[in-house]
Amino acid sequence: MTVILVLLTFVTFLLIDHFHSRKQVVVQPALQVAGRKGTARVAPSLVGGFQVPEKLRYHPGHTWALSESPSLVRVGMDDFASKLAGKVESITLPQRGQWIRQGQKVCTIHRDGAAVDMVSPIEGSVADINEAIGRNPELANKDPYGEGWLITVQSPDAKTNFRNLLSGALARWWTEESASRLQRKMPMLGALAQDGGVAMDNVTAHIPDQDWAALAKEFFLS
């Protein structure tokens, strides 16, 4: 319900927020985003200390989707999710051929004995998984838009699915809202961002595991 209310509020003030966000967004050096032809160079926006590349579409549960063909979609966690997850022990991915649904579980993050699910931005059959994540789960934290991607999906109705995702000004606003809400909920975190405006790699490193799990489930909509 919270997600619906804030999204409706944003739609009402979309035009105002558009001009407001143009003043706040900081353009950083080009970032690599994984794609079928290796990597593509894009200029991410920095919002609330978190990178929000323009090329991607985002689920409110902080996963992203990148169209690689009319039906093939690459999926990963966004920068906000990677920094909220912090130093994870492992990431459980679905099996190849498994059908996943938009807004339902796509992977499970394991950290210090706690397990939190993340939801898929797209519906379809899992075409491939990032086996490197199994060997080195820190990739999702260090490079969430590149080598830290999670899976690719064959989505027969990708076009319709993408209409349900966030992009542009709306994606930037949602990230800024998430960053502000995290700061309000956990004032003991102090400043989220390091010098230069980029959020720390593990913004929740010093909070108890139980608090982290509850917080992650709320922001990941799981």
What confidence category does residue 3 fall into, taking pLDDT thresholds of 50, 70 and 90? Answer: very low
- Nearest Cα to 24, choosing from 220, 160, 179? 179
d(CA 60, CA 165): 8
81: pLDDT strictly greater than 70: yes
**In CATH, 2-220 is 3.10.20.600:** no
Handedness of CA 58, 84, 109, 222 (dihedral sign): negative
The whole-angstrom separation of Cα 171 and Cα 54 is: 9
pLDDT at 34 over 60: yes
Is-contact 178 58, C-beta < 8 A?
no
Q: Give how far Cα 98 sits from Cα of 34, 66, 115, 138, 205, Å.
A: 22, 19, 21, 24, 33
35-69, pLDDT tens digit by residue?
544 444 445 689 988 999 999 999 999 999 999 99
Kindly report, residue by residue over 148-160, the tens digit of the pLDDT: 999 999 999 999 9
Residues in Cβ contact with 179 at an 8 Å cutoff, skipping those fewer than 6 apart: 47, 48, 49, 50, 80, 192, 199
Q: How many CB atoms are located within 10 Å of the residue 103 CB?
A: 18
Looking at residue 198, its pLDDT comes to 76
Res. 170: pLDDT tops 50: yes
Reported as a pLDDT band with limits 50, 70 and 90, residue 207 is confident
Which has the higher per-residue pLDDT, 10 or 183? 183
Q: What is the pLDDT of residue 13?
A: 37
What does pLDDT average to over the chain?
Answer: 82
Confidence band, pLDDT 50/70/90 cuts, at residue 201: confident
Record the tokens describing residue 7, joined without a space. Answer: 């999204």
Q: Give the confidence band of 206 by pLDDT, cuts at 50, 70, 90.
A: confident
* CA–CA distance, 53 with 195 (Å, rounded to integer): 21
Say how far apart CA 109 and CA 118 lie, in whole Å: 8
Identify the pLDDT of residue 7: 46
CA–CA separation, 166 and 38 (whole Å): 24
* Predicted confidence band of residue 217 (pLDDT cuts 50, 70, 90): very high
What tokens appear for 125 in the block?
Answer: 């059959």
Per residue in 84-118, pLDDT (tens digit) is: 999 899 999 999 999 999 999 999 999 988 999 99
